[in-house]
Amino acid sequence: MNLQEIKQAIRDGKTVYCSNTAYTVVKDNLNQYLIKCSINDFCIGLTWRDGITLNDIENNFFTL
């Protein structure tokens, strides 16, 4: 999935995963998209600071 597909899926109420089901993409109350680990609640930004480059490759993002 590319960045726009990920954001649209989140807006549509779908759960987007990154690499495996332990990592979900969430939108926080500051409208930031984050990749959150369900094991330790650690988060990183969905993208680099440029707001375009994903923090993982497109092929690793998926919905079930």
> Are the beta carbons of 25 and 17 closer than 8 angstroms?
yes
Helix and strand numbers (H, E) in the chain are 1, 5
pLDDT score recorded for residue 35: 98
Question: What's the pTM?
Answer: 0.93
**Domain segments of the chain: what residues?**
3-63
Q: What would the pLDDT profile of 8-59 be if each residue is shown by its tens digit?
A: 999 999 999 999 999 999 999 999 999 999 999 999 999 999 999 999 999 9
Q: How far apart are the first and last CA of the chain?
A: 13
Sort strands 43-45 and 61-63 into parallel, antiparallel or unpaired. Answer: unpaired
